[in-house]
Amino acid sequence: MTDLDPTAAGARVVLVTGAASGIGRATVDLLLARGSRVVAVDLDELAIEGEVVALAGDVADEETNRAAVALAVEAFGRLDGVVLNAGAGGTLPWEDPGAVAAAERIFAVNLHGPMLGIRAAVPALRQAGGGAIVVTASVAGLRADPGTWAYNASKSAVINLVRAAALDYAAAGIRVNAIAPGLTRTRIIEGADPLLAERVPLGRFAEPGEQAEPIGFLLSPAASYITGTTLVVDGGLDAGLG
Ligand code: NAD
């Protein structure tokens, strides 16, 4: 088996970034419940029990990515899957004096983070005979929204990074996919107008676990013929206004 099998008790090792909160935390919980071992990376401290080792660090930093992969191999002997989920965003007035620096930081986390994560993980995934990478993009990468141009551009770019990496690593048995969440009840949308939910065809925000499930699917052998794609998980937002 060259692919990740989160149902194989204790056999599979997955690195998750942005693991302390929201979608990342729900993904860690799902993977642990299915018997995987997890390396959890976040800027914030992660308090969690079980087959998990945590690393505090910034995904925009190459060293964090290298250290996380090294930790997987040191603690669990291998690496089979990677979830590059950490993200940053927000509204950015175009003419704000700090807009360029703020946009560069958004690109550093949302685009360079996955680029560095893929580069760091590939040697260990090759060593394991193949594996799966899932990047958390966004429906914001498939469309534009007022005021969040840097976030939207970074998420568009990461969707194409995923396609490119999928082509480059297919022969190595490494599948690379993205999910594109819609509005999901995490810290990122704290303070969002609850009326926004009425614009979602399914009529509500997603729960973090509803993003973790498709991530788990893309990591699993059930997705063995899926690479280079973006799975939209948005309650119908991308289909049109409800
Ligand atoms: P969240 O704020 O609950 O979780 C994000 C986690 O990433 C936090 O624990 C944060 O500390 C960590 N993080 C942020 N920058 C980091 C960095 N530079 N290095 C390491 N860790 C870092 O938000 P979430 O909604 O769970 O976000 C997860 C991903 O989902 C992000 O990529 C986000 O863009 C994407 N997303 C979220 C929504 C939504 O509506 N919540 C929609 C589309 C996409």
Q: Name the residue among 75, 163, 158, 84 with its Cα closest to residue 117.
A: 84
Per-residue pLDDT at 192: 85
The catalytic residue among 107, 149, 151, 169 is: 151
Output the residue whose Cα is nearest ligand 1's atom 24.
Answer: 22
The protein residue whose alpha carbon is closest to atom 44 in ligand 1 is 138
Q: What does the chain come to in residues?
A: 242
The strand order across the sheet containing 230-233 reads 52-56, 37-42, 13-17, 81-84, 131-136, 174-181, 230-233
Contact between 59 and 82 under an 8 Å Cβ cutoff? The reply is no
Can 151 be counted among the known catalytic residues? yes
**Cα(171) to centroid(ligand 1), Å:** 31
Query: pLDDT tens digits, the chain, 242 residues: what are they?
Result: 344 544 443 359 999 999 999 999 999 999 999 999 999 999 988 888 889 999 999 999 999 999 999 999 999 999 999 999 999 999 999 999 999 999 999 999 999 999 999 999 999 999 999 999 999 999 999 999 999 999 999 999 999 999 999 999 999 999 999 999 999 999 988 888 889 999 999 999 999 999 999 999 999 999 999 999 999 999 999 998 76
Tokens representing 140 are 């914001």
pLDDT for residue 242: 65
**What are the contacts of 145-153 at 24+ separation with CB within 8 A?**
147/91, 147/92, 147/93, 148/89, 148/90, 148/91, 148/92, 149/92, 149/94, 149/103, 150/89, 150/92, 150/99, 150/102, 150/103, 150/106, 150/107, 151/89, 151/90, 151/92, 151/106, 151/110, 153/107
What's the pLDDT score for residue 56? 97
How confident is the model at residue 191, as a pLDDT?
A: 83
- End-to-end, the C-alpha distance of the chain in Å comes to 42
pLDDT on residue 47: 84
